[in-house]
Amino acid sequence: AQTVTQSQPEMSVQEAETVTLSCTYDTSESDYYLFWYKQPPSRQMILVIRQEAYKQQNATENRFSVNFQKAAKSFSLKISDSQLGDAAMYFCAYTRFGNEKLTFGTGTRLTIIP
């Protein structure tokens, strides 16, 4: 069974600094997708970024980028120029190609220090 592990229950960063959230996963599949979702205090789940496993290039969305290491089964999220609005729970998620079920990690609570 696929598992997703987020080993950092909580992280904090100074405003305008850079922070990296870790995620590792376990799978025997070669084709899959990885996601980072943000859940602010409103509890809305918001897609931050998505990575296709067959793509070597790391995904980037404005201040958010990932470091995808397929061999190491690692998928970290880097937030540059952290802003107060980035404060939230961040969930890493996995789904294999051809299967629509998402497997989520336990989340990392990110605090932004003004």
Partner 1 sequence: DAGVIQSPRHEVTEMGQEVTLRCKPISGHDYLFWYRQTMMRGLELLIYFNNNVPIDDSGMPEDRFSAKMPNASFSTLKIQPSEPRDSAVYFCASSFGGGIGEETQYFGPGTRLLVL
Residue 44 sits in the site that holds partner 1 (CB under 8 A): yes
Smallest distance, partner 1 to C-beta of residue 89, A: 10
In DSSP notation, 11-64 reads EEEETTS-EEE--EEE-S-SSEEEEEEEE-TT---EEEEEEETT--SPPEETTE
Residue 113 sits in the site that holds partner 1 (CB under 8 A): no
Binding to partner 1 (CB under 8 A) within 83-112 occurs at 91, 95, 97-102, 104, 106-107
Residue 47 sits in the site that holds partner 1 (CB under 8 A): yes
Distances in whole angstroms, Cα of residue 91 to Cα of each of 17, 21, 52, 114: 20, 10, 17, 23
Size of the site for partner 1 (CB under 8 A): 21
Smallest distance, partner 1 to C-beta of residue 21, A: 16
